[in-house]
Amino acid sequence: MSNMSNQILEKLPPQNLEAEQHFLGSILLDKDAIIKVGDMIRPDDFYDSKHRLLYEIMIELYSKHEPIDVVSISNLLKEKNKLEQVGGRTYLAKLSNVAITPTSIVNYAHIIQKKATLRRLLKAASEITELGQKEDEEVDALLDNA
C-alpha cells in the first residue's frame, strides 16, 4: 500500500470536538438555546459518543419541561447508570465553563452538521467501494444496493 493510502486510512473522520463542547455548553448556559437548534441537530450528528448521550439527555429534559443544567443532567444520567460514561460531573462542569455565550449556538450547530454530513458521505463511499469489490454479483443488483 502506498504512503498516501496509509495517510487516508489513519486520518480521523471529519469532526470538531471543540464545536460540540461549545454547543452543549451553550445549552447549559441558556436552556432556551435548544429551541434555536432542535430541528438542526440530532444526537447522531455528534462525533463523540459522550456528546451524543449528553444531547439526548438534554432533549429528554427539555421535552419534560425540566431544567437543563448540570444538576438535572447529572441526576438523569445517574438514574440511567451513565454518568461516568460522559466523564462524570467534572466533564459537565467543564462544558458549562467552555461556552462563553450561547449566542453562537447556531454557528456551532452548522459546524456539527457539516462534519456529520461529511462523515455520512465517507461512510456511503466506503459502502459503495465494498459493493464494487463484489465481482461475483450481478451489476444491476449492486446498483440497486448502492
Which tens digits make up the pLDDT trace of 106-121?
999 999 999 999 999 9
Residue 137 is given by DSSP the state S
CA-based nearest residue to 76, from 59, 51, 100, 97? 59
User: Strand (E) positions, 102-144?
Assistant: none
Percent of the chain predicted with pLDDT > 90: 66
Q: Are 126 and 134 in contact (CB under 8 A)?
A: no
Helix axes 17-29 and 105-132, enclosed angle (nearest 10): 140
Taking the model in full, what pTM does it have? 0.81
- Average pLDDT over the chain reads 88
Nearest 5°: phi and psi at 82?
Answer: -130, 10
